[in-house]
Amino acid sequence: MVLADILKRWQQLKGQEAILCTGTDEHGLKVQKASEKARIEPKLFCDKGATIFKELAQKAEISNDHFVRTTDKEHQDAVQYAWFLLKEKGYIYTSKHEGWYSVTDEAFYPEAAVKPYLEPSTGRVITVSIETGSEVEWSSEENYHFRLSAFREDLLKFYKENPTWIVPAHRMQEVIQSVESGLPDLSISRPYSRLTWGIRVPDDETQTMYVWLDALMNYVTKAGYPWQPGQESAGGWPADCHVIGKDIVRFHCVYWPAFLMALGLPLPKQILTHAHWTLGGSKMSKSTGRVVDPFHALDRFSPDVMRFYLAHEGGLADDGDYDNSRIVGLYKKFLSGSLGNLTSRVTRGKSWSVRGAVERIGHEEVAYWEEGPGSRFYNRSLRGVASKVESAFEAHDPRKALFEIADFIRGANSFLQDSSPWSKCLDYGPGEPGEDVDRIIYLAAEALRLAGILLQPYMPNKSKTLLDQIGVQESRRTLAFCRPGADLDYGVPMVELGKGHKNVLFPPLASDE
């Protein structure tokens, strides 16, 4: 959710309209069994889960426009309409299906994709999916199938024409290899006698739809599908980017595009896949208690700090290991020690005026910065940071973009420290410390302004506070103003700056434990 929200806010920073969907997939055998175990009706069970995720999204400052629930009536109607079309086009047929089924993954696996496994806690020998490690059981049943095999060549052609469709690149290659090795037809229903919790197959009360056909349709249903003629793109489809975990790549990168091709709908423009979080180097698991409570973490460190940490440490290609001490370290060394320190030094300096420096130096042309104090920082850092960050976002790598911003801030902090304007101030003219000091303070203030703008997708609250502290108008906090000299109307604080730890951007943590 944080990754998707960062991408949305980045588009808004560029002046684009952006729509973000998140939500809960609520049907399937896994949910049915979990509700039975909890002795709660499935709908009430899902209501409770959806409420938790809605609260989590709100607490984490996720700016989602829609919260999808696959139990919503309009979603179910759209899914049944899609089923009708697929059947009318001849892509759905009935057949007996046998194979290894995982309740956890809601998926069938061929013989080559499973293996025996000795369960350490019980001593049982079970069969598991090689891909996910989930337990599977042999299943034989009569159900509906989707002619997935008919789309093998179309999929391979699409992958070839869109080689960067899946990010990171190695997952693109894995998908291509999987489809090249064979693409059997897909079982898309379950007997109602076994699966009651789901969308019923139209005109066949004995069957319930496969959860992944149901769930994947949420993307288009929230964009208004089925559309009235002429309104196909009014709701934003095709999506610019799906953000998904690495464990559901097959469903989103093989099944989903095939369903869309069969329905005659355009495919999403990009699939951004991310790795998982581990704890102590091992997979998180509720059964072993190896988990992190996100509500507690958000309360303890604040939403902005957690968003920064997740974006900075979370892996796209490789798993990230969650570590409280790492959060504390990033806070103290970077957020407080670098960004916070730079902000306090620039805005609270008694020997200079940010507004005065902007007025006296800001109007200077690029040629002015060819030499003299700060020329190197101006040309090598200030002028290039926005384009570096934009390039990283264009490559769908918010983590790399954040590294670019962090390096820029560290460089600005070092620049201020090395330039030591406090030792260069002239004694005469209160508020006019001399041109050299004005140059240094102007460049440091510009660094804060640019950093504040660029950090908005990651830390919306702290960025607002930073930009308020240096007096940047609300209308000038977009990417269009993210270049040196683009805004010369700031410099007067909009909020009280305070003294000591009062009103500092990143105050000392209550506990470093």
* Residue 420 CB partners (closer than 8 Å, separation 6+): none
Confidence of residue 406 (pLDDT cuts 50, 70, 90): very high
Q: Is residue 396 part of a domain?
A: yes
For 407, the domain range is 334-481
Does residue 213 lie in a domain region? no
The predicted model gives 468-491 an average pLDDT of 97
- Confidence at residue 426, expressed as pLDDT on a 0 to 100 scale: 87
For residue 394, how many other CB atoms are within 10 A of its CB?
Answer: 10
Confidence class of residue 513 from pLDDT cuts 50, 70 and 90? very low
Half-sphere exposure of 428 (CA within 13 A, CB side): 0
Mean pLDDT in residue range 395-419: 97
The confidence score (pLDDT) of residue 319 equals 95
**Cβ(297)–Cβ(341) below 8 Å:** no
Confidence of residue 220 (pLDDT cuts 50, 70, 90): very high
**What secondary structure does DSSP assign to 199-263, as a single string?**
PEETTEEEEEE-HHHHHHTHHHHTTTSSPPTT-TTTT-PSPS-EEEEGGGHHIIIIIHHHHHHHH
Residue 405, pLDDT above cutoff 90? yes
Using pLDDT thresholds of 50, 70 and 90, give the confidence band for residue 249: very high
Tell me how crowded residue 132 is: count the other CB atoms within 10 A of its CB: 16
**The pLDDT of residue 511:** 58
Instruction: Choose among 21, 165, 137, 145: nearest CA to 86.
Output: 145
pLDDT of residue 102 exceeding 80, the answer is: yes
Q: Poorest-confidence range of 127-131, 298-302, 475-479?
A: 127-131
Let me know: does 392 contact 400? Beta carbons within 8 Å: yes
Residue 99 within a domain = no
Q: Sorting pLDDT into bands at 50, 70 and 90, what band is 29?
A: confident
pLDDT for res 188: 93
- CATH number for 387: 1.10.730.10
Asked if residue 128 lies in contact with residue 114, where contact means CB atoms within 8 angstroms, the answer is yes
Stretch 354-363: mean pLDDT, rounded?
96
Longest dimension (CA), the chain: 92
Indicate whether 218 belongs to any domain: no
* Spatial distance between the Cα atoms of 279 and 259, rounded to a whole number of angstroms: 36
- Please tell me the predicted confidence (pLDDT) of residue 97: 72
Mean pLDDT confidence for 351-358: 94
Kindly tell me if the per-residue pLDDT of 428 is higher than 70: no
- Per-residue pLDDT, averaged over 219-243, amounts to 91
70: in domain = no
Q: What is the mean pLDDT of residues 53-68?
A: 97
Contact 437, 425 (CB under 8 A): yes
Task: Give the pairing type, strands 277-279 and 282-283.
Answer: antiparallel
In sequence order, the 6+-apart residues with CB closer than 8 A to the CB of 131 are 109, 113
- pLDDT exceeds 50 at position 229: yes
Instruction: With CA atoms as reference, report the closest residue to 445 among 379, 382, 363, 366.
Output: 382
Domain assignment present for residue 467? The answer is yes
| pLDDT tens readout for residues 292-327 | 999 999 999 999 999 999 999 999 999 999 999 999
> Alpha-carbon torsion 482, 483, 488, 492, what sign?
positive
- What is the C-alpha separation between 171 and 317, in angstroms, rounded? 9
CA 112/CA 6 separation, integer angstroms: 39
pLDDT band, very low/low/confident/very high, at 431 (cuts 50, 70, 90) = low
**Both structure tokens of 382:** 């200030």
Half-sphere exposure of 241 (CA within 13 A, CB side): 25
pLDDT at 305: 98
Q: Which two tokens stand for residue 142?
A: 């009569």
Q: What is the percent of the chain where pLDDT is above 90?
A: 79
Q: Is residue 168 part of a domain?
A: no
Q: Report the domain count for the chain.
A: 1
What one-letter code names the amino acid at 475?
S
**What is the rounded average pLDDT for all residues in the chain?**
93
Work out the angle at residue 281's Cα, subtended by the Cα atoms of residues 248 and 317, and round it to the nearest 5 degrees. Answer: 40
Label residue 200 by pLDDT band (50, 70, 90): very high
Map 58-82 to HEC letters.
Answer: HHCCCCCCEEEECCCHHHHHHHHHH
Task: Return d(Cα 359, Cα 506) in angstroms, integer.
Answer: 28
Residues 490 and 475: their CA atoms lie apart, in Å, by 12
Q: Are 104 and 148 in contact (CB under 8 A)?
A: no
Q: Please give the model's pTM, rounded to 2 decimal places.
A: 0.91
In a domain, 108, yes or no: no
Strands 189-191 and 204-209, bridge-based pairing: antiparallel
